[in-house]
Chain A
Amino acid sequence: DAGVIQSPRHEVTEMGQEVTLRCKPISGHNSLFWYRQTMMRGLELLIYFNNNVPIDDSGMPEDRFSAKMPNASFSTLKIQPSEPRDSAVYFCASNNPQEHYTFGSGTRLTVV
C-alpha cells in the first residue's frame, strides 16, 4: 500500500488566495482526519470523517475553512480566503476504528 498520500507537499500563496489541500487515505480505512500543526499549538484536529460523512468539525477555526470527502478515496481541505496565520503543516491521517492512525507526509503551507 502506498500509504496516505497528500498533495501538494509545499504551497506558498498570497494572502487572500484560495488554497486547496488534497488527501488520499489508505484503501479500506473508514475514517479520515485533517490536522494542523504549528510550533505554538502542536497538533490540532480540524475535522474528521467516518464513511465519508463529517462527524466532528469543531476544530475548524472559522468559516474560511471547509472540508469535503466526496468518496472513500479522496478528501479536500479548502481555505478561502487564506491569511498569514494559516501558515502551518497540514496533515491528513486515516484509520479503522480503535486502530492507530497512519499519517500522510503533510502539506507545508506558507501564506505571505
Chain B
Amino acid sequence: RKEVEQDPGPFNVPEGATVAFNCTYSNSASQSFFWYRQDCRKEPKLLMSVYSSGNEDGRFTAQLNRASQYISLLIRDSKLSDSATYLCVVGGYNKLIFGAGTRLAVHP
C-alpha cells in the first residue's frame, strides 16, 4: 500500500464548477499536511497547509480527518488557471511524502 494515495484523475470540469480531491495516508504518526500544485513541466509549489480545524484560502478549502487519516481539498468557482496537478503531501518531523497527484483540467 502506498503511504499517500490519491485518485489520479483527470478531473475535467467546466469553469465555475466546484471540485473536490481526496487523499488518504497510512502513517498515523504523521504530523504535517500540505497540498502542493504542480503545473506542466514546472516544480511543485505549496498551495496551502492543512490544519486539523480545517482552513480556507479564498476559493480553496482544506480539511484533515486524523481519525480516518483522510485529507481533502475543495476548489470553488474553478478558473481555467486552476488546471494543474494537485499533490497531497504528508510528513513526519522532517521528511515529506508526496502522493502521485490528481490532475485537474478546467475547460471554458
- Size of chain A's interface in residues, with CB distance under 8 A? 20
CA separation between A50 and B94, bound complex, in Å? 9
Q: Is the interface of A mostly helix, strand, loop or mixed?
A: strand
Q: Which of B31, B42, B93, B96 contacts A101 (CB 8 A)?
A: B96
Residue among B43, B44, B91, B96 with most chain A CB within 10 A:
B43
When C-beta atoms are compared, the residue in chain B nearest to A31 turns out to be B94
Q: How many chain B residues touch the partner (CB < 8 A)?
A: 21
Query: Of B45, B89, B96, B98, which is in contact with the most chain A CB atoms at under 10 Å from its CB?
Result: B96
Contact A98/B94 with A42-B100, A42-B101, A43-B87 known, Cβ cut-off 8 Å:
yes
Docked complex Cα distance between A43 and B45 (Å): 13
Q: Does B49 count as interface, using CB distance less than 8 angstroms?
A: yes
Partner of A98, one of B32, B43, B87, B100: B32
Q: Which residues of A, 80-103, contact B by the 8 Å Cβ criterion?
A: 91, 95, 97-98, 100-103
A111 CB–B CB distance under 8 Å: no
Residues of A within 8 A of B (CB): 31, 33, 42-43, 45, 48, 50, 55-56, 91, 95, 97-98, 100-106
Closest 6 CB pairs of A and B: A103-B43, A42-B100, A43-B98, A100-B46, A97-B94, A100-B34
